[in-house]
Chain A
Amino acid sequence: MERQGTRAYDKLIFEISSPGRIAYSLPDSDVPERPLGELLPREQLRAKPAELPEVSEFDIVRHYSRLSQMNYGVDTHFYPLGSCTMKYNPKINEDMARLAGFGRLHPMTPAASAQGALQLMYDLGLALAEISGMDAVSLQPAAGAQGELSGVLMIRAYHRSRGEKRTKVLIPDSAHGTNPASTALAGYEVIEVKSDAEGAVDLGDLERHLGPDVAAFMITVPNTLGNFEPRVVEIAELCHAKGAQVYMDGANLNAILGITRPGDLGFDVCHFNLHKTFTTPHGGGGPGSGPVGIKAHLEPFLPTPVIVKQDDTYGFDWKRPKSIGKLQAFWGNFGMLVRAYTYIRTMGADGLRRVSENAVLNANYIMKRLEAHYDVAAPGPCMHECVLSARRQKKLGVTAMDVAKRLLDLGFYAPSTYFPMIVEEALMIEPTETESKETLDAFCDAMIQIARETETDPRVIHAAPLTTPVRRLDQTRAAREPALRWSRPAGP
């Protein structure tokens, strides 16, 4: 049950402000004070003080404690958001990240005094390279999309170094939206490749587009329909024969750990989402971490600095003339690297393989239990996630969005909806390996209940959610007429 009395709390901190209230007194300045006008350009000085909230320390504690009681995350609920791998974040990761030698390390600490941190990064790079079959890894990218951008920029630098002018990148129509976005940001024209009826790459369409102007083909494996791309090796060979590089979006890596490796399948580049596969927090601000792995021919183009080991000493290598440059402040999201390293060392090789086996087993269990009640987007067995379609329910007036809203009332976060875009009324469910059978069953029971309600009492679905802090939002109006700024109500 939701806590009584907290659900209705919807105050902004500005609304509990009372003039003159102070929560904290700054210590006296120990440097000589100078007028602001001497320190800042005049156009940056305010005429009036900013209208900041004025609250007591107790007000702040209570305000944020009450808001935090409405938090919804993997620590409180099943969160089967497809393609996001919302798995349990082990608390030992937090212990390690808080060790003073990591947690209190200043990013400007000279390499000689930060050997432990550098060794952790060096070893994590080796571990990710081994897991993926790649030759080198950069830990800098802040999240998946920046990993993609780094990878595509390395591909661009590689082609340029060979004097080749290639202007296009091919991407399947089932791709995550970040793929075309990163590619366009790297200066390429994006060409969409069609999927066949099973959601796999249409090889004919791929070959049609695969000309001498194509720099790369970018694909998610397993694909966004939750299936292993059946002709992935053939695809890589086709691309290489035309001089194109092959990029694997590693968003779905959780399905294949210890079973197969992107490098062995023929990929030249792949990124990792540490906040998905490697149990660093996902959501709540993360932050994310999206290391990128590459084959040896791309090594000269790695972002700087590269962490190197000489004898038993670790250091930064900045002298890399062909590098695509630096991408991220300092050394990436280091706290996440500590957590991912901890996870990999906790699990070991056998443990990681079991992760994927159980993730795949759990997804297939859900698909099997639900296939009589919802349409399945692609014939199974699936990998680590399954994509259902509410097209049967839509005929009765219940859309995928309605199913998602009703699930909130029944105590579950909703699956991804309307993705992949090639599936009508898509519901993409990723349970991950960390859920028990009891949880999977409770979720399936809820989904089956909704399928029944669609036939008997769709009103309850259309009214949902009733038990959440806010009821169904008017998404359309929110997007068409967004209110992006709170304004103080007129005084009495």
Chain B
Amino acid sequence: MSSIPSDLRYTREHEWAKQEGSRVRVGITAYAQEQLGDVVFVELPKVGTKLTAHKTFGVVESVKAVSDLFAPISGEIVEINADLPNTPQLVNQDPYGRGWMLVVAPSSAGDWDQLLTAEQYEQFLSESGH
């Protein structure tokens, strides 16, 4: 079973979200990067873009597939990981750390509670046969 840190929240599309003060950092899970294989390209929106929870915000491309990235919460992007264009392998090497994608200023406090806890995400993975 892939690592699922207990202090993060998760989506069914395999993004993670981390509360950092009033902001939320976003990336994809260890499980997601394992399934994708070697990530070769990450397409992220610009700082200032408004995100809507459950809607796509970008694309991650691996040697196997191209997958949409889904926003865990609504809000405005205040920072993107500038290392990813040149070193997309960070998503594979350190999905919860240096492979982060965005920092978001949330616009709706209720979104956070809709996300899966680590326990729920783990159960979701085992139920869907992963």
Nearest chain A CB to B63 CB, angstrom units: 5
- Is B38 within 8 A of A476, CB to CB? yes
- Is B88 within 8 A of A480, CB to CB? yes
Q: How far is the CA of A418 from the CA of B40 in the complex (A)?
A: 16
Which of A177, A421, A424, A476 has a CB less than 8 Å from the CB of B63? A476
Provide the residues of chain A in CB contact with B65, threshold 8 Å.
418, 421
Check if B66 is an interface residue, CB within 8 A of chain A.
yes
Per the CB 8 Å criterion, the residue count for chain B at the interface is 11
Look across to chain A and name the residue whose beta carbon is closest to the beta carbon of B56: A190
Nearest chain A CB to B4 CB, angstrom units: 19
- Cross-chain pair count, CB within 8 angstroms: 21
Check if B41 is an interface residue, CB within 8 A of chain A.
yes
Check if A31 is an interface residue, CB within 8 A of chain B.
no
Per the CB 8 Å criterion, the residue count for chain A at the interface is 9
Look across to chain B and name the residue whose beta carbon is closest to the beta carbon of A197: B129
Residue numbers of B with Cβ under 8 A of A are: 35, 38, 40-41, 61, 63-66, 88-89
Residue numbers of A with Cβ under 8 A of B are: 177, 417-418, 421, 424, 475-476, 479-480
Q: How far is the CA of A475 from the CA of B65 in the complex (A)?
A: 13
Q: How far is the CA of A177 from the CA of B61 in the complex (A)?
A: 13
* Chain B contact residues: helix, strand, loop or mixed: loop
Provide the residues of chain B in CB contact with A417, threshold 8 Å.
64
Provide the residues of chain A in CB contact with B41, threshold 8 Å.
479-480
Nearest chain B CB to A172 CB, angstrom units: 15
- Is A480 within 8 A of B66, CB to CB? no
- Is B66 within 8 A of A418, CB to CB? no
Report, nearest first, the 8 A-B pairs whose CB atoms are least far apart.
A479-B40, A476-B38, A418-B64, A475-B63, A480-B40, A476-B63, A421-B65, A476-B40
Can you list 13 contacts pairing A with B, beta carbon distance less than 8 Å?
Answer: A177-B66, A418-B65, A424-B35, A475-B38, A475-B63, A476-B38, A476-B89, A479-B40, A479-B41, A479-B61, A479-B63, A480-B41, A480-B89
Nearest chain A CB to B68 CB, angstrom units: 9
Q: How far is the CA of A476 from the CA of B39 in the complex (A)?
A: 8
